[in-house]
């Protein structure tokens, strides 16, 4: 049953196409010596697209005004609009120009969706966040050192979350930075085509693993492993240590750092390497003294983007990091992150009027701004410091 | 720079050459770590998942008592009671109430389902005795798979007797692929989650592919260089880097609160994921359109095509393989996405397989997340098994993208 109306409308649209096509054909044959401005198929396409647009418009209007009659309204509009327009099809009618104008507008509208999405994100997050800051002063949110949204009275101090996020991100970048960069150097400078054909898909495979899978692995395998290793050397490691989450997150961002660095290393002109070799430098000396400095802005930008990704990553930390907001810089302790709190605050039923729910939107706003600034810096670093070689 | 003295002395040269070798080894080491991690991850998950793909059933003779099953309404019979009776009849010498209860606990609460469908299909069986395999509980399954010591000695002896009598059959765990979610591990399956994923991805694809390609065509072919175009471009690049959980907040505030769409529905999940992958599809499509040489378009202009005719009849078909490759990769990403769907309520416990995009549903990654939280050991292997299924699907999608790229993408 739910497919009846879409099918009906589709057949109406097809009928509209045929109608336009036929009428144009008839004009061509009927009045000898008269040439149409546009080919008959454009007359058909015009009627078809008008029919679709009418149906969509009526459907949307119907959704607002009378939800029960959406489908009927859409169907009626799909029939009426092309029927009216078909009476205006005369020999000089510029069907193609009109059709192309409509298509152009649709293309423009499609590219505006991205802008609308951003506006939607900003407005929705900002609106709820402002509601939150009406109850909780901004300063006590930003500089409070205690986070307990569910206790009574709740306290919303952002600092422990920030510290936890940064701690896990730091572990991830310490792991992934050297490994990702060295992988990129090896792939770009040393690997034979055969080795590259193995290494690149390997990293792509790693990049393609869903983070929920990495989270499962972190929580069930890596965290107990680290805990046991800690016991062996006499350290007490929390079962939800920042180290485990950070390690696995590091593995997640290796492919990102590696592929971005690979691109910028490849973009360094060969003449620089040749010049360095001609002076007698070994390959590694060339890489360290010539290639890497030349590629540095791009590499820095890759690292910043990786940090931004790690800060916004949710599933690994939800599954492997803790819930309790400890203000600790020890990677063996359990810490919590911004994304973990957003996820836990909003899972389940929500009341939009409680400060607890609203605080998730405030955290979302902070996260959005944080990643936005990081991405902007990454972009600026490349623009400002990139050497122009050509 | 002290190094610049004696650069030609043999000792110095040897040091430089060994530094060269070391540097190379660091590179290999880094790749090796990534490779080992991947191998360890896959091995760990596959080995955890193996128990979930098989299950044990015990063959028993069940008397379909006409007193318990009404011939007019065979679907409403007390099959649970029948299965329990048949199960207890396997051990006629157990009389103690507590023991009986323990014994019944070893039978799955879903054991009656197979019996019911059998009788509903053939009501003539009522009043007869049939031999059917009864599903055992998850603890018993774990025992037969040598994975658990959580049972009491008595229970172990009973289960051992059954297998000594040759009544235990081990088979593929078909229920895992044909059932929805369940509180009982031995009955829980991924069909609901798979269907939910399929519906969600269908919505995502139907929205994001046309929108993304249209936006890419506009930006690449028709947009004039002005502030509006710049704004749109900066926007798309920024949107591609926004954390996925923020899209979940958008979905919650806009689609659920403002437009009042149903919670947990694949429609909303698909909408959110469509917005999430839209920038990726736009960027990939633009790259594909750009790689078509301008001479193609100019030739079309030369024979009198309009701008749109040149683009839609000539440039777009040539760019299509590249666009589809990018789209498949974006879909693969959407298929593994979890965080934004948590925000819009796709985490509810849903037993029924969703029938449409308005029904409450969950998706495979969220199912994995939900199961991973459960304490039972049997759910752990099911989580791993669901991950294996998800990874296989993603692997197939990626392979498809590679094939598409190899066979259809033209280099100019």
pLDDT tens readout for residues B344-378: 888 778 778 888 778 888 899 999 998 888 877 78
Query: Distance between CA A185 and CA B30 in Å, rounded?
Result: 10
Q: Of A129-143, A345-359, B171-185, which one has max mean pLDDT?
A: A129-143
CB contact at 8 A, A215 and B337: no
CB contact at 8 A, A186 and A200: no
pLDDT tens readout for residues B217-247: 999 888 888 888 888 888 888 888 899 999 9
Sorting pLDDT into bands at 50, 70 and 90, what band is B5?
low
Mean pLDDT of A6-30: 81
Give pLDDT, residue A82: 80
Q: Is residue B2 over pLDDT 60? A: no
CB contact at 8 A, B244 and A314: yes
Residues of chain A found within 8 Å of residue B34, distances taken between Cβ atoms: 179, 183, 202-203, 206, 251, 254-255, 258
| % chain B with pLDDT above 90 | 30
The pTM (predicted TM-score) of the whole model is 0.88
Mean pLDDT of A333-340: 87
Give pLDDT, residue A97: 84
Give the ipTM.
0.87
Q: Is residue A306 over pLDDT 90? A: yes
Give pLDDT, residue A348: 64
Q: Tell me whether A323 touches chain B (CB under 8 Å).
A: no
Sorting pLDDT into bands at 50, 70 and 90, what band is B136?
confident
* DSSP one-letter string for A302-318: HHHHHHHHHHH--HHHH
| Cross-chain Cβ contact B242/A209 below 8 Å | no
Sorting pLDDT into bands at 50, 70 and 90, what band is A33?
low
Q: Tell me whether A314 touches chain B (CB under 8 Å).
A: yes
- More reliable by pLDDT, B327 or B142: B327
Query: Distance between CA B327 and CA B284 in Å, rounded?
Result: 8
pLDDT tens readout for residues A185-198: 999 989 888 988 88
Q: Is residue A390 over pLDDT 80? A: no
| Cross-chain Cβ contact B215/A96 below 8 Å | no
Mean pLDDT of A223-239: 85
Sorting pLDDT into bands at 50, 70 and 90, what band is B142?
confident
Q: Is residue A345 over pLDDT 50? A: yes
Give pLDDT, residue B6: 58
Mean pLDDT of A303-332: 86
Across the interface, of B7, B215, B391, the residue whose CB is closest to A113 is B215
Q: Is residue A141 over pLDDT 90? A: no
Count of other CB atoms within 10 angstroms of residue B294: 9
- Tokens matching residue B32: 């090796």
Q: Determine which of A69-73, A77-81, B271-275 has the lowest per-residue pLDDT on average.
A: A69-73
Mean pLDDT of B206-217: 93
| Cross-chain Cβ contact A202/B38 below 8 Å | yes
Sorting pLDDT into bands at 50, 70 and 90, what band is B92?
confident
CB contact at 8 A, B109 and B187: yes
Phi, psi of A327 (to 5 degrees): -90, 90
Q: What is the CA radius of gyration of chain B?
A: 30
Q: Is residue A214 over pLDDT 90? A: yes
CB contact at 8 A, B133 and B114: yes
Q: If DSSP states are collapsed to H, E and C, what string results for A137-196?
A: CHHHHHHCCCEECCCCCCEECCHHHHHHHHHHHHHHHHHHHHHHHHHHHHHHHHCCHHHH
Residues of chain B found within 8 Å of residue A177, distances taken between Cβ atoms: none
Mean pLDDT of A153-181: 90
Sorting pLDDT into bands at 50, 70 and 90, what band is B1?
very low
Give pLDDT, residue A307: 93
Give pLDDT, residue B38: 92
Phi, psi of B346 (to 5 degrees): -85, 15
CB contact at 8 A, A117 and B253: no
Query: Distance between CA B335 and CA B363 in Å, rounded?
Result: 8
| Cross-chain Cβ contact A202/B23 below 8 Å | no
CA A42 to the chain's CA centroid: 38
Q: Determine which of A87-91, B136-140, B199-203, B331-335 has the lowest per-residue pLDDT on average.
A: A87-91
Q: Is residue A165 over pLDDT 60? A: yes
Residues of chain A found within 8 Å of residue B37, distances taken between Cβ atoms: 206, 251
Give which of A323, A179, A321 is closest to A252, Cα–Cα: A179
Across the interface, of B222, B338, B343, the residue whose CB is closest to A346 is B343
Give pLDDT, residue A66: 66
Mean pLDDT of A137-143: 83
| Cross-chain Cβ contact A111/B218 below 8 Å | yes
Computed over every residue of chain A, the mean pLDDT equals: 85
Give pLDDT, residue B7: 59
Give which of A367, A127, A310 is closest to B247, Cα–Cα: A367
Residues of chain B found within 8 Å of residue A209, distances taken between Cβ atoms: 38, 41, 336, 391, 394
Q: A349-352 contacts: CB < 8 A, separation 24 or more?
A: A350/B252, A352/A128, A352/B257
Pairs of residues, one from chain A and one from chain B, whose beta carbons lie less than 8 Å apart? 246
- More reliable by pLDDT, A268 or A30: A268
Mean pLDDT of A66-82: 76
Mean pLDDT of B196-224: 91
Residues of chain B found within 8 Å of residue A282, distances taken between Cβ atoms: 16-17, 19-20
Mean pLDDT of A145-157: 79
Give pLDDT, residue A34: 67
Q: Is residue A351 over pLDDT 70? A: no
- More reliable by pLDDT, B116 or B341: B341
Q: Determine which of A348-362, B254-268, B273-287, B304-318 has the lowest per-residue pLDDT on average.
A: A348-362
DSSP assignment letter at B113: H
Q: Is residue A72 over pLDDT 80? A: no
- More reliable by pLDDT, B205 or B169: B205
Mean pLDDT of A239-255: 90
Across the interface, of A209, A309, A315, the residue whose CB is closest to B338 is A315
Query: Distance between CA A181 and CA A259 in Å, rounded?
Result: 9
Q: Determine which of A18-27, B6-15, B147-156, B245-254 has the lowest per-residue pLDDT on average.
A: B147-156
Question: H-helix or E-strand containing B156?
Answer: helix B153-164
Query: Distance between CA A221 and CA A233 in Å, rounded?
Result: 19
């Amino acid at each position: 049953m739910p497919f009846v109306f879409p099918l009906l409308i589709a057949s109406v649209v097809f009928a509209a196409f045929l109608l336009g096509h036929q009428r144009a054909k008839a004009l061509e044959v009927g009045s000898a010596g008269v040439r149409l401005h546009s080919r008959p198929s454009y007359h058909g396409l015009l009627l078809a697209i008008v029919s679709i647009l009418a149906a969509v418009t009526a459907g949307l209007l119907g959704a607002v005004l009378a939800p029960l009659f959406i489908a009927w309204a859409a169907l009626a509009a799909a029939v009426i609009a092309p029927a009216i327009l078909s009476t205006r099809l005369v020999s000089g009618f510029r069907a193609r120009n009109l059709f192309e104008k409509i298509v152009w507008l649709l293309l423009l509208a499609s590219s505006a969706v991205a802008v609308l999405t951003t506006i939607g994100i900003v407005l929705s997050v900002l609106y709820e966040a402002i509601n939150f800051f009406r109850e909780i002063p901004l300063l006590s949110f930003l500089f409070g050192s205690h986070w307990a949204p569910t206790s009574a009275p709740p306290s919303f101090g952002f600092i422990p979350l920030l510290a936890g996020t940064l701690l896990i991100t730091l572990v991830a970048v310490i792991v992934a930075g050297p490994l990702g960069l060295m992988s990129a150097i090896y792939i770009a400078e040393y690997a034979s085509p055969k080795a590259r054909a193995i290494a690149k898909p390997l990293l792509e495979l790693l990049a393609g693993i869903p983070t929920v899978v990495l989270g499962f692995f972190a929580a069930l395998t890596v965290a107990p492993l680290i805990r046991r290793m800690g016991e062996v050397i006499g350290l007490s490691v929390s079962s939800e240590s920042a180290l485990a989450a950070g390690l696995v997150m590091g593995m997640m961002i290796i492919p990102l750092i590696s592929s971005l660095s690979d691109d910028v290393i490849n973009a360094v002109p060969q003449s620089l390497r040749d010049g360095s070799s001609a002076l007698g430098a070994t390959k590694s000396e060339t890489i360290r003294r010539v290639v890497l400095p030349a590629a540095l802005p791009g590499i820095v930008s890759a690292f910043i983007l990786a940090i931004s990704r790690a800060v916004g990553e949710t599933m690994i930390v939800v599954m492997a990091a803790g819930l309790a907001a400890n203000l600790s810089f020890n990677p063996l302790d359990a810490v919590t992150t911004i994304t973990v709190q957003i996820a836990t605050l909003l899972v389940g039923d929500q009341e939009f009027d409680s400060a607890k729910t609203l605080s998730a939107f405030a955290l979302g706003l902070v996260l959005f701004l944080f990643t936005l600034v990081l991405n902007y810096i990454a972009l600026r670093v490349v623009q400002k410091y990139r050497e122009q070689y050509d | 720079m002290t190094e610049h003295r004696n650069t030609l002395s043999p000792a110095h040269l040897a040091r430089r050459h060994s530094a060269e070798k070391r540097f190379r080894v660091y590179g290999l080491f880094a790749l090796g770590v990534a490779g080992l991690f991947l191998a360890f991850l896959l091995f760990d998950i596959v080995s955890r998942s193996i128990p979930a793909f098989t299950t044990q059933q015990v063959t028993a003779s069940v008397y379909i008592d006409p007193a318990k099953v009404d011939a007019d309404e065979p679907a409403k019979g007390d099959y649970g009671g029948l299965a329990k009776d048949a199960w207890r009849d396997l051990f006629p010498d157990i009389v103690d109430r507590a023991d009986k209860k323990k014994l019944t606990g070893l039978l799955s609460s879903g054991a009656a389902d197979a019996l019911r469908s059998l009788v509903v299909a053939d009501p003539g069986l009522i009043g007869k005795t049939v031999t059917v395999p009864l599903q055992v509980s998850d603890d018993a399954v774990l025992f037969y798979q040598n994975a658990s010591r959580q049972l009491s000695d008595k229970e172990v002896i009973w289960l051992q007797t059954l297998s000594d009598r040759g009544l235990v059959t081990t088979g593929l765990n078909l229920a895992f692929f044909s059932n929805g979610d369940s509180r009982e591990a031995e009955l829980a399956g991924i069909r609901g989650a798979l269907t939910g994923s399929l519906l969600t991805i269908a919505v995502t694809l139907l929205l994001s592919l046309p929108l993304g390609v249209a936006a890419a065509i506009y930006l690449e072919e028709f947009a004039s260089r002005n502030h509006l175009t710049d704004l749109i471009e900066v926007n798309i690049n920024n949107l591609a880097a926004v954390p996925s959980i923020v899209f979940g907040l958008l979905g919650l505030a806009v689609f659920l609160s403002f437009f009042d769409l149903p919670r947990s529905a694949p429609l909303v999940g698909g909408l959110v994921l469509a917005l999430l992958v839209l920038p990726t599809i736009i960027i990939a499509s633009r790259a594909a359109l750009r790689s078509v040489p301008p001479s193609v378009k100019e030739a079309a202009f030369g024979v009198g095509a309009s701008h749109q005719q040149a683009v839609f009849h000539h440039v777009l078909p040539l760019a299509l393989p590249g666009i589809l490759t990018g789209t498949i990769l974006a879909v693969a990403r959407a298929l593994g996405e979890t965080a934004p769907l948590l925000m819009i309520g796709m985490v509810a416990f849903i037993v029924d397989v969703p029938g449409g995009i308005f029904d409450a549903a969950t998706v495979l990654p969220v199912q994995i997340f939900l199961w991973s939280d459960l304490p039972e050991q049997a759910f752990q292997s099911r989580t791993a098994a669901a991950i294996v299924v998800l990874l296989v699907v993603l692997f197939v999608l990626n392979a498809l993208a590679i094939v598409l790229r190899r066979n259809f993408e033209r280099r100019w």
